Amino acid sequence: MRDEWKVFPANIVGVLIAGVMAYLLAWIDGANNAGNSLGTLIGAKALPLRKALVIAGIAELVGGVLYGGFISETILRKVVNPVVFDPFSYAVGLTIAMFITFLLILTVTRRRIPFSITQTLIGALTGFSIGNTGGIGTNLALVSGLMILWIILPVLGIIAGLLSYKLYEFFLGFKKPWTIILLVSTYLNIFLASSIILLLPSTYLEYYWYILIVTVLIILNAIPMHSLIKAVRSSKTFEIDEGRIFPPEALALSSGMMAFTHGAHDVANSAAPLTGVIAALSLNSIPEDGLTVNPLILLICSGGLSAGVVTWGLRVARTIGEEITVLNTDSAFIANFSASLTTLFLTRMGLPSSMTGLVIGSVAGVGLAKGIGNVNLRLVARIMWYWYLGFALAFAGGFATGLTLTIL
């Protein structure tokens, strides 16, 4: 597969254009979806904004570089079949799909609307495939299944957020120090243990990797737990201050993992199309054994995600953290906890889901657990309307591009 990366001089311009487009798409992806991890931190006012941006930016970069291949391979191989396309048309279609997605996400980001980038990109790719090949290369069963999944995800997020908050209230009812420690330990350990599902590659791991993972999880678990136990010991009559049971370290940890998961999931939106363009223009054909994302491409696109978070991430993050419902430290952690579990499973399975849908749903679910009047349902409905309008517009743009290439 080394020849896949030998780009001939005549096609360098096309690769450069696709590379710039991929980086811009990754940048606006990070800027828009920073709210998935930063929103709850901002809403709870748990960390200074600059520190929150740094944590999210680093976590996005690491997650994208290490585990961005799972969703990338789904977009490259399963949504549309590259083999049925003319190489030049395939490269043009992928580049235009990135451009259409970039324009749509830029527009909604300026309006502070959290958006599903993966949903929009798949809409553009599906439209292009149907317009260019009549649907021969389109996995319509997978796309239909994903559309159903995207409708269900916010509902799942609401249910998870609501149930998690009810469990939190159940523990608080005992009003004993040991129950508070048990509460934090339960949530934190479930959160950290579930992350192993994402961290473990599909290939066999040597025993020392297991030791390393367990050690890291113990350290991450110990930081907020030490803070909580110290607070309990400092007073014989430990009083429960509602909304401040979980220490800020726990919320920072959960937000960092959310950013890590987003990087692992969403880097595919730019890395996968760029990989396809380079393969098509370098080989002038599509390998029948499929395409694999180059680590350098993952690094470049992950860098774009990280840059988007740091430079423009606060715009949409405030919508999630401040306008859907009122959050404090505890409810923010529970919202992160609820959204992250499903996202980790879906990412590990290679399903292009909508992390934004899960986060919006979980934040709304936490608010609903405190009463329906605590949630801005009109805003939630407006956000979901934008998502499906974006898919339709991207599909139309991709279809027009594919059809035009057949005429030319």
* Unique residue bearing structure tokens 């269900």: 152
pLDDT of residue 103: 95
* Unique residue bearing structure tokens 């393969």: 279
Whole-number percent of the chain with pLDDT over 70: 69
Position 210 pLDDT exceeds 70: no
Residues 273-283: pLDDT tens digits? 998 898 888 87
* Residue from 43, 78, 136 nearest 322 by CA: 43
* Residue from 283, 270, 322 nearest 114 by CA: 322
Position 149 pLDDT exceeds 90: no
Position 251 pLDDT exceeds 90: no
CA distance 34 to 309: 5
C-alpha angle 38/201/288, rounded to 5°?
A: 105
Q: Band the pLDDT of 264: cuts 50, 70, 90.
A: confident
* Residue from 160, 75, 157, 76 nearest 119 by CA: 75
Q: Band the pLDDT of 122: cuts 50, 70, 90.
A: very high
Mean pLDDT for all residues in the chain: 77
Residues 61-106: pLDDT tens digits? 887 887 666 677 777 778 888 888 888 889 999 999 999 999 999 9
Asked if 336 contacts 259 with a C-beta cutoff of 8 angstroms, the reply is no
Position 237 pLDDT exceeds 50: no
What is the number of other CB atoms lying within 10 angstroms of the CB of residue 18?
25
CA distance 358 to 379: 15
pLDDT of residue 2: 42
What lies within 8 Å, CB to CB, of 249 at 6+ separation is 223, 224, 227
348 φψ region: left (φ > 0), alpha (ψ -120 to 50), beta (else): alpha
pLDDT of residue 115: 85
Handedness of CA 335, 151, 320, 114 (dihedral sign): positive
Asked if 58 contacts 37 with a C-beta cutoff of 8 angstroms, the reply is no
**What are phi and psi for residue 154, nearest 5 degrees?**
-60, -35
Asked if 65 contacts 284 with a C-beta cutoff of 8 angstroms, the reply is no
pLDDT of residue 351: 67
- Cα distances from 25 to residues 141, 301, 302, 323, in angstroms, run 27, 9, 11, 26
pLDDT of residue 104: 94
Asked if 318 contacts 112 with a C-beta cutoff of 8 angstroms, the reply is yes
Residues 344-378: pLDDT tens digits? 666 666 666 677 788 888 888 888 888 887 888 88
Mean pLDDT over 125-149 rounds to 88
- Cα distances from 223 to residues 83, 121, 196, 246, 249, in angstroms, run 50, 39, 18, 12, 7
Residues 181-197: pLDDT tens digits? 666 666 666 666 666 65
Asked if 391 contacts 120 with a C-beta cutoff of 8 angstroms, the reply is yes
Structure pTM?
A: 0.80
Asked if 224 contacts 246 with a C-beta cutoff of 8 angstroms, the reply is yes
Asked if 36 contacts 356 with a C-beta cutoff of 8 angstroms, the reply is yes
**What are phi and psi for residue 138, nearest 5 degrees?**
-100, 130
Position 239 pLDDT exceeds 50: no
Q: What is the SS3 assignment for 85? A: coil
Position 236 pLDDT exceeds 50: no
Residues 163-180: pLDDT tens digits? 888 877 777 776 666 666
- Cα distances from 58 to residues 51, 308, 351, in angstroms, run 11, 12, 24
Mean pLDDT over 145-151 rounds to 84
CA distance 150 to 145: 9
Position 41 pLDDT exceeds 60: yes
Q: Which amino acid belongs to residue 196?
A: I
pLDDT of residue 1: 41
CA distance 159 to 153: 10
Position 382 pLDDT exceeds 80: yes
pLDDT of residue 7: 47
Q: Which residues pair with 80 in a beta bridge?
A: 138
**What are phi and psi for residue 219, nearest 5 degrees?**
-65, -45
